[in-house]
Amino acid sequence: MESRPTTPFPLPGLDDLWAAASRIRPHVHRTPLLRSRWLEEVCGCEVHLKPENLQRAGAFKIRGAINALLCAQARGELGPAGVLTYSSGNHGQAVALAARILGVSAVVVVPEDITRVKRAAIEGLGARVVACGFTSEDRHRGALEIARESRAHIIPPYDHPDIIAGQGTLALEALEDLPGAEAVVVPVGGGGLLAGVSIGIKSLRPEIRVIGAEPASANDTALSLQAGRRVQTPPSKSVADGLRALTPGELTFEAIRRHVDNVLCVDDDEILAAQQNLLEREKLLVEPSGAVAAAVCARHISRAKTVRVRARAVIVVLSGGNAELPLAGGRVR
């Protein structure tokens, strides 16, 4: 798949991130930075967690969703059919919440194997759920078919400047709280969060390293960076269900290509171990997708010379906390 852009939208800049931050402030939590004793013991450096699992709707996604809906409302794009999106879960919850805040209806196209907790949360926020296939492409095609009939306004999960700008507000908060950071580790699926955070970080502090964190079995962004163009990978069964995109978005990949220093991968066992350590050591419930950046930090980042990234102060983004707990024993998922 070639990387030539086909979208008419430009990448957002720092001014767009600041405007988004002002726009969404009444509707989102300003999550804190929390020191991680577990990761500091493992890495030998200062590690600060950005716990977006404590965000409204349980994930960072509300930042982009509410920004996109507010922008669409200001442009007069929200009609009586409301909004429509396609999501593995967290973006769907965020759009459902944003739609409820604005008083419009919402439909969310989800995979047939969506976790019970994510589907229940979307429906609990008042959105209608439609199951369609198993991949992000399946959901996208299903959403387009519904939109043609209903004329609902589509809110994409990541590849749109309003979504990217909203997600990038996380970087503004993190740098305000820790201006001395030397690296920021961010999970990547379709790339909206990594794109927005990298734009914010590199615009304000270009010397800070921005590291993407990806499951080894869903490494489309890492492979795309290596190839210098967007590539497509086979469907993945990674436990990090929110990061199973088959290819990066067009806009998001352009931002990542320009601003991200590296994308590092970890396997599912490392992801589950990080999820368990975050729960047991830090008392933070995160889903597997939300633990990937912590797993990358544990494996690849230290003050030592033997790792991929050397840093003295690191920010690790925990992207979401919509996890299913086991009935008895075992690992959280």
Q: How far apart are CA 271 and CA 122, in angstroms?
A: 25
Q: Does the annotation mark 237 as catalytic?
A: no
Q: Are 105 and 96 in contact (CB under 8 A)?
A: no
**Phi, psi angles (nearest 5°) of residue 257:** -60, -40
Amino acid letter, 261: D
DSSP conformation letters of 219-272: -HHHHHHHHTS---------S-GGG--SS--HHHHHHHHHH--EEEEE-HHHHH
Is residue 6 classed as helix, strand or coil in its secondary structure? coil
Q: Which of 36, 203, 302, 319 is catalytic?
A: 319
Q: Does the annotation mark 36 as catalytic?
A: no
Q: How many CB atoms lie within 10 A of CB 258?
A: 12
The conformation of residue 128, written as its DSSP 8-state character, comes to E
Helices (H), the chain: 14-24, 37-43, 61-74, 90-102, 116-124, 136-150, 161-177, 192-204, 220-227, 250-259, 268-282, 288-300
The conformation of residue 86, written as its DSSP 8-state character, comes to E
Q: How far apart are CA 66 and CA 77, in angstroms?
A: 14
Q: Are 12 and 258 in contact (CB under 8 A)?
A: no
Q: How far apart are CA 301 and CA 294, in angstroms?
A: 10
Q: How far apart are CA 194 and CA 225, in angstroms?
A: 13
Q: Which of 61, 136, 203, 238 is catalytic?
A: 61
* Tokens 């964190």, located at residue: 213
- Find the length of the chain: 333
- The catalytic residue positions are 61, 319
